[in-house]
Amino acid sequence: MGSAPACRRGARWTAVSALALAVAVLAVAPGRVAAVGYETADSADRSRVQWKQEPSFPRKLLDAMVLRPLQFVQVVASAAIFLPAYPMAWPFGGGDDVIEACITEPVDRLFRKPLGDL
């Protein structure tokens, strides 16, 4: 009798996992198309618009649930690497490169990159 509730919980988790998988598979349909900017021959002609496809739901889900937490870990690790690297690179003129590689790029990837843009 003690195993019956555990079996029900296992069946419930299996059903939830199957439902999540089904939603992810059904969401693979192409994303919507949106205008993202202008590509013009000259500044007066704004008739040609550059079109870019919006990322699909699975890409956004992968980015939000897996990649962004890993990028947060990367930001913390980069900050830890920055602390000893900057004082060593500064006398040789490499301070800006260390700031770019250890701080600016990881923070831009984590906070400024659009969701689903892998």
Q: How confident is the model at residue 40 (pLDDT cuts 50, 70, 90)?
A: very low
Please answer whether residues 33 and 72 qualify as being in contact, where contact means their C-beta atoms are separated by less than 8 angstroms: no
Predicted TM-score of the model (pTM): 0.54
Could you give the count of Cα atoms lying within 13 Å of 99 in the half-sphere of its Cβ?
6
DSSP 76: H
CB atoms within 10 A of CB 116: 18
36: three-class secondary structure by DSSP? strand
Q: How confident is the model at residue 22 (pLDDT cuts 50, 70, 90)?
A: very low
Q: What is the pLDDT of residues 79-93, one digit of tens each?
A: 999 999 999 998 999
CA quadruple 56, 57, 58, 63: dihedral, nearest 10:
90
